[in-house]
Structure 1
Amino acid sequence: MIPTGIGHAPCHHGEILQGVFLDGDGRRCAGLVTLPMAGPGSHAAFVRRPGTAPGQLTVVPADRTKALRAAALAVAECAERTGQPLCGGELRLTGDIPVGLGMGSSTSDVIATVRAVAHSYGLRPAPDAVARLAVRAELACDPLMLDGRPVLFAQREGRVLEALGPALPPLVVVGCTLGRGAPVDTLSLPVREPCDADVRAFERLRALLRRAVATGDAGLLGEVATASAWRGQQTLDHPEFDTVTAIAGRVGAVGVQIAHSGSVAGVLFDPAAPGLRHRVRSCLRALDTHAIPTTRTFTTTTKELPHGPARRGGDRPSGPDTDRRPARLPAL
């Protein structure tokens, strides 16, 4: 009997920093640093069907086409490594990552799939191997295969440009959604070729973030995230952005962050700041006053701060990979 392979991958809460950077050879390269978030994730189960044609691969839900491509690529690689013939199989995906908010739902599906297929062959792929297959499956991917380690990641190439350290400075994040949670069609956004000044600005932010991680400086990280969010806002043009940044300033937050490919955003707090709970409650009230939906309050050290009824588990709303529908993140 062929065992069922299983795999899991987390999500993230948008980006702390995203832009164009220089790699070790001085070449310009798109890169990002994501804000990890414990909780929601994608789960994959894969059953091989020996003796069936390689093309006989199915996925449930049927619209997860990127995950299906990842399964085909992973089967081909695992079969070659183990000396077994190619075959078909069935992939099943479950999870609770909201789609359309820029939280890496499709990458999470893909990574969970690669891990599940490998597990069915008795293999455990290294993160760089998972990243390579993920980029082939969806053209660009988030660094979710690194399980929360802060890195500057070249999303279109699937490689780490810089390991920033073991962990981000502790943060408390009040999550919210902009643009009424509508998906962001990244293909329709205007494309502007970065100039030398842009690259220099991103490299300065990279250096500041490196220092923030090395020293555990939440305030400095907040400055970097806000500067990156402001730059992203020049393209995304969320109407509530100025309101969120103003609220962050009034309640003593260290900054804001946004998803550069979605509508999720976060108001960032230093957990060591005096009167933290009062600040967080004031932030929640202010966002509510301005009709900006809040989602989840969490920390980068995985402890969550309750501010509403919990809602967990189950399948996230199904939607084609090319047209992700908005969904609310479970509120805590």
Structure 2
Amino acid sequence: MIPAGRPTAAAAGDLPTGTGHAPCHHGELLQGVFLDGDGRRCAGLVTLPMAGPGSSAEFLRRPGTEPGALTVRPAGRTKAARAAALAVAHCAERTGQPPCGGELRLTGDVPVGLGMGSSTSDVIATVRAVADSYGRRLAPDTIARLAVRAELASDPLMLDARPALFAQREGRVLEVLGPALPPLVVVGCALGGGAPVDTLSLPVRPPAETADDDVRAYERLRTLLRRAVATGDVPLLGEVATASAWRGRQALGHPEFDALTSIARRAGAVGVQIAHSGSVAGVLFDPAAPGLRYRVRSCLRALDSHGIPATRTFTTSTSTSTKEIPDGPARGGGRRPAGPDTSRRPARLPAL
């Protein structure tokens, strides 16, 4: 029986402890149904990375306890709990140890229900923390498989900032589009007044039921996005994101969508993007465009006049992708204490 309270510092210091972190994202640039290398239809998406908010996890492993003896703080993070159990089983098998229980502590500031990958961020941070407690680092494809098993569909946050078309229900990359997205300035906002979206209530159409014309349209957008990434064509990227957002709003029914696209056009933006499973959205600007500050300010004023709350203005990273990590022992690492429990924010993002 695991004590309900946290162990003393001395006791905790005698137990293997691991830490992990995962970022969030700002909705999607493209989402739809695509063809894989074998011509099979797959649901897929390309997310818009965002630095800043994320989830951190600390896992205190208790060798000799039952595998199901897992406690999670804050309570209620059921997906993270499943991820911890799956990661323990995976790492125990790889290291030749019996699976065991432990204590998982999560902290983070990713708002829930806006379509920013809050649950996936928790899950990936958890998997990384469990692996770290075993002295291992897991490859992105391994993390992806565990994440999908834990929450049925996963965002590609284990890939960090690499733009990739990701099959979210299968946990695999359909295509890496390039090392990095073209630089963007994003004026974030929240549609629907920032009310959280219940993703479980959204209609899910199996890929096999998607019309042939729709699949061809998604494949065309995929080709255009590949070209935009390869050539650094920001206006073309904006065109793809807007077309994908227009298709996505049909399921979400955002009444402000027409106003958002009109604001973007008048402010000289290259397009808009939305979360296809939430209320977060963004107006996309080319950072090299003349009069950028004026354009952003006019966009913010227009959003305010239409009652669309602005959230966060940020730039996408222009750094190259992170290096692939194979499954195996970690090269190093240390322990760091987890911070105090942080409740999830229901809507508003932290502002820059």
Report whether the alignment pairs 1:251 with 2:267: yes
Cross-structure match for 1:88: 101
Per-residue deviation, 1:3: 3.0
Q: Does 1:42 align with 2:55?
A: yes
Q: 1:316 to 1:229 in 2, by over 3 A?
A: farther
2:217 is aligned, of 192, 197, 201, to 201
Matched, 1:238 2:254: yes
Does the CA contact (< 8 Å) of 1:43 and 1:95 recur in 2?
yes
Match for residue 90 of structure 2? 77
The offset of 1:87, in angstroms, is 1.0
Give the counterpart of 2:297 among 260, 264, 281: 281
Determine the structure 2 residue equivalent to 1:10.
23
Give the Cα separation in 1 of the matches to 2:210 and 2:246.
15
- Of residues 194, 199, 211 in structure 2, which corresponds to 1:186? 199
Q: Which amino acid in 2 is paired with 1:194?
A: T
* Alpha-carbon distance, 1:229 to partner: 0.1
What is residue 219 of structure 1 aligned with on the other side? 235
Structure 2 residues not aligned, in runs of 5+: 1-13, 320-338
Check if 1:131 corresponds to 2:157: no
Structure-2 change in CA distance of 1:77 and 1:202 (3 Å) = same
Q: Which amino acid aligns with 1:317?
A: S
Q: CA deviation at 1:236?
A: 0.6
Mapped to 1, the partners of 2:202 and 2:120 lie a distance apart of 20
Partner of 1:327: 347
**After superposition, what is the alpha-carbon deviation per residue over 1:2-41, rounded to whole angstroms, capped at 9, x for unaligned?**
2310000000000000000000000000000000000000
Distance 2:120 2:235 in 1: 30
For residue 23 of structure 1, the aligned residue among 12, 16, 36 is 36
Contact 1:97-1:316 within 8 A present in 2 as well: no
One of 92, 116, 120 as aligned partner of 1:103: 116
Q: 2:72 and 2:224 mapped to 1: Cα distance?
A: 43
Is contact 1:96–1:316 with CA below 8 Å preserved after alignment? Answer: yes
Q: CA deviation at 1:171?
A: 0.3
For the 8 Å contact 2:182–2:318, the answer to whether it is kept is no
Deviation at 1:185, TM superposition (A): 2.3
Residues 28-55 of structure 1, C-alpha deviations (whole Å, 9 max, x = no match): 0000000000000000000011121111
- The 3 A distance-change label for structure 1 pair 213 and 265 is same
Match of 2:137, SS state, is coil
- Structure 1 vs Structure 2 CA RMSD: 1.4
How big is each residue's C-alpha offset from its partner over 1:189-225, in whole Å with a ceiling of 9 and x where there is no partner? Answer: 3445310000000000000000000000110000000
Deviations 1:37-77 (A, max 9, x none): 00000000000111211111010011100000000000011
Letter in 2 for 1:60: R
Tell me the secondary structure at the aligned position of residue 110 of structure 1.
helix
What is the CA distance between 1:129 and its match in structure 2? 0.3
Say yes or no: does 1:172 pair with 2:185.
yes
Structure 2 counterpart of 1:225, which letter?
A
Identity %: 84
Task: State TM-score, norm by structure 2.
Answer: 0.88
5+ residue gaps, structure 1, are 304-312, 319-324
Distance in 2 (CA, whole Å) between partners of 1:301 and 1:126 is: 22
Q: Alpha-carbon deviations, 1:270-317, whole Å to 9, x = none?
A: 0000000000000001101111111110011279xxxxxxxxx97553
The whole-number CA distance in structure 2 between the counterparts of 1:176 and 1:56 is: 41
Amino acid across the alignment from 2:350: P
Contact 1:99 / 1:316 at 8 angstroms: preserved in 2?
Answer: no
TM-score (normalised: structure 1): 0.93
> Which segments of structure 1 move beyond 4 Å, counting only runs of 4 or more?
313-316
Distance in 1 of aligned mates of 2:342 and 2:156: 21
Partner of residue 310, structure 1: none
Q: Deviations over 1:218-254 (max 9, x none)?
A: 1000000000000001111111111111000000000
Give the letter for the 1:71 counterpart: A
C-alpha separation in 1, matches of 2:347 and 2:318: 22
Which moved further from structure 2: 189-198 or 78-87? 189-198
Contact residue 181 and residue 318 of structure 2 kept, 8 A = no
Q: Could you tell me how far 1:184 is from its partner in structure 2?
A: 1.8
Letter in 2 for 1:96: D
Written as runs of structure 1 = structure 2, the 5 A alignment for 1:115-154 is 115-154=128-167
Distance in 1, matches of 2:99 and 2:200, equals: 35
